[in-house]
Amino acid sequence: MHPFSYVAPKTIDEAVAVLEKNGTRARPFAGGTDLLVQARANKWDLDTVVDIKKIPETMSLEVSQEGLTIGSGVPCYQVYNNEQIKKEYPGIVDGALIIGGIQIQSRATIGGNLCNAAPSGDSICPLIVYNAVAHISGPSGSREVAVEDFCTGPGSTVLQNGELLVKIVVPKPNAGSGTAYQRFTPRNEMDIAVAGVAVSVQLNNNGDDFESVRIALAAVGPTPILANKAGSSLSGKPINDDSISEAASLAKEEASPISDMRGTIEQRKHLIEIITTRMIKEAVKRARG
């Protein structure tokens, strides 16, 4: 690792300017739990790290009538310790709680997890099924990108030169909805997903039919995957083992994993079917309160 400079701008404009000027030789620095490890492993040849934690917008965590705003510099522990988030966005908490151990969670951010764009990133699938939107600022202004479109490949995102993820906005869930995320790991904690599934269900007024469902799959493709066929198969269907099993089997088809040290193709596809079933049931349980 060679010497690099550290800057801590106080505004988004300043941050964008320094990122734009340095191109790939500068990286935003939030928790640093991925960035510093990757820098040491020479993944990045850095001249500058741009600490974003002095910028008020990136540090805001707000729950309002419109929804939840998570600044890109907000560490996981603040998210999962927030009583209102725990109550209204349990799927977000499911993900934030299993990223690393307590020390990591005290630094690591949801925004960083998204920008790191690992297919296994535990906070990304919950954001996708909640219809979360990434708010980006860059040299040519601000734009919004749905989280499901944010990652473009392992470690790559829609962010262009000079662009910075400022915050993630999660719309407020309606009554009768429920969300859950779970991953499979051989160990109970401190591990990385072999496969993971987030499910968000919107039930009808009686709570016996699915109105709409979103399902997202982790670690079974180059990016987290929004499993559209699986999710839409449940629209208007009654809640029963048949409908759930059909959706799970569609999710299995939508998964396109590789075999590697963490698991094989067959194992991962099988796990997607199992976890999808379990998460649909869990989301329904949560929707029914």
Partner 1 sequence: MVQVFENKTSYNVVGTRPIRHDGIDKVTGRAIYGADVKVPGLIWGEVLRSTEVHARIKSIDTSAAKKMPGVFAVMVHQDLADPGTETTRNGLQDVDREFFNIMAKDKVLYKGHVIAAVAAIDRNTAQEATRLIKVEYERLEPVRNVDEATSPNAPILIEDLIGDHLGENVANTNIATHFRHEFGDVEGGFKLADLIVDREVSLEMVHQGYIEPHNATVIWHEDDKLTVWSSTQGSFGVRDQTAKFVGVSPSQIRVNYSEIGGGFGGKTKVYLSPIAAILSKKSGGKPVKIVMDRPSVFQATGPAPGGKVKVKMGVTNNGKITAAEATIRYEAGAYPGSAVNAGAICIFGCYNIPASRIDGFDIVVNKPKSAAYRAPGSPQAAFAIETVVDEICENKGWDKIQFRLDNAAKKGTRRGDGVLLEKVGFEESLDATRNSSHWNSPLGKPDNGKLRGRGLACGYWMNGGGPSTCDLMLSDDGTVMMNEGSADIGGTRASIAMQAAEVLGLAAEDIKPSIPDTDSIGFTGTTGGSRTTFATGYAAYLAAQSMVKELKTRASILWEIDETDIEFSNGVFRSTKESELKLSIKELAEKLGVTGAPVSTTSSVNMAAGGNGYAVHICDLEIDPETGKTDVVRYTAIQDVGTAIHPSYAEGQIQGGVVQGIGWALNEEYFINDDGSMANYSFLDYRMPTSLDLPMIETIMVEVPNPNHPYGVRGVGEVPLCPPIAAVGNAINDAIGKRIYEQPIKPGRILDAISKD
Cβ closest to partner 1, residue 189 vs residue 242: 189
Cα separation, 140 vs 83, in Å, equals: 37
Cβ closest to partner 1, residue 145 vs residue 274: 274
**Which amino acid is located at 253 in the chain?**
E
Smallest separation, CB 279 to partner 1 (Å): 13
Cβ closest to partner 1, residue 61 vs residue 274: 274
Between strands 48-51 and 5-7, the pairing is parallel
Candidates 200, 204, 251, 259; CA nearest to 229 is 251
Smallest separation, CB 264 to partner 1 (Å): 6
Residue with tokens 């965590």: 61
Cβ closest to partner 1, residue 234 vs residue 271: 271
Smallest separation, CB 29 to partner 1 (Å): 18
Smallest separation, CB 95 to partner 1 (Å): 17
Residues near partner 1 (CB under 8 A) are 1-3, 40-42, 184, 186-192, 194, 260-264, 267, 270-271, 274
Alpha-carbon distance values, 205 to 54, 55, 242 (Å): 45, 43, 21
